[in-house]
Amino acid sequence: MCDLKRLAEVGKKGVTLLLCDSTNVEREGFSMSESVVGKTLDELVGKYKKERIIIASFASNIHRLQKIIDCAKKYGRKIAFTGRSMENVSEMAIKLGELKCDKGLIVDIDRVDMLEDNKLIIISTGSQGESMSALTRIAQDNFPKIHLCDNDVVILSSSPIPGNEKAVNNLINALYRKGCQVVSNELADVHASGHAYKEELKILHSLVRPKFFIPVHGEYRHLKNHQLLAKSLGMKDRNIIIPELGMQVEIDSDSMRFATMVPSGEVLIDGTGIGEKDSNVIRDRLLLSQDGVCAVLLSISRKSGRLTAPIEIASRGFVYHDEVSEVIRDAKVFIKEKLSELDLKEMELAEIRSTVRKLATGFFFKNTKRKPIVLTLISQNS
């Protein structure tokens, strides 16, 4: 429950800065009550008397987990938790007394195949279609403890977070392919958002009455619409800032302004290394994934500076097999002709490598519209 009285008291004392969630600022009205979700889950568990039920939800929503446990107890079913965060959160919540659940009601996930379908509810992570989550692995037959069948009902007790729609749709399709029945937020009231709707945000702003405001949590369009909402309630435009990631904001009693930037964003984990990677490395890997790599091998005489063997070119991930022989053949002829115009004897190896790389890159782009990474290998002989 939201303590509106306390918010009003804080607002009267004076609030310098409000940072407020913007995710559902575009949704009109008020969000649905969690009690409606509890009633719907009860109806669904009562409806599917013979089927095995799998419910995917956010592990952090303890109130939702309690409703599911209550339903299991009411209809004579056992509970099995799966997914690392679900297992950890439920275990800790039970220890702290925040989650009321008889020990005899919980069954280990390794023993679920010993129970009849109508005697079990599995509570899982993965409602957002995360690639390594328990439910996604179950749907892909990559979870040895649970195998889906046409007697399974999967309830997605959530709604897709903006940006996750495709992953959630892929998950639902995978579940249908297994013969499961799927109940999502579009079909029943199985999820109440934890993010305030527009009218609730209006109430918050009106009670808190901050001097400065920074909208947070959401895509840029959500932040912008939250800024417009604050302005419609009387806040001055100069007292609202939408900062970019890493941007510092300085605030004093009279003003709010942008300051310097600090390092921010993704932390890359590469093998055993953790931290920021050289941008050239990332650029090269992107090129490799998009246009592949070509290696040009030259054999050059130290004395004459002439080629002593035909140019060899090997490629991987560059062009289709039917095209590669013709493109490589023409590239060899082109590079050989251009090198014949140069005095290789007077050139340093590094200069030759650079020249060949530029020649090959230019030729490949002109003829294929691709820019593979070009490696030049030079063998010198007498």
- The residues annotated with a catalytic role in the active site are 21, 195
The number of beta carbons lying within 10 Å of the beta carbon of residue 164 is: 16
> Parallel, antiparallel, or unpaired: how do β-strands 256-261 and 247-251 relate?
antiparallel
Torsion of CA 275, 281, 284, 285, to 10 degrees: -30
Q: Among residues 157, 162, 166, which one has the least CA distance to residue 122?
A: 157
Query: Nearest 5°: phi and psi at 85?
Result: -65, -35
Q: How far apart are CA 127 and CA 106, in angstroms?
A: 21
Distances (CA, A) of 217 to 53, 214, 235, 353: 33, 10, 20, 49
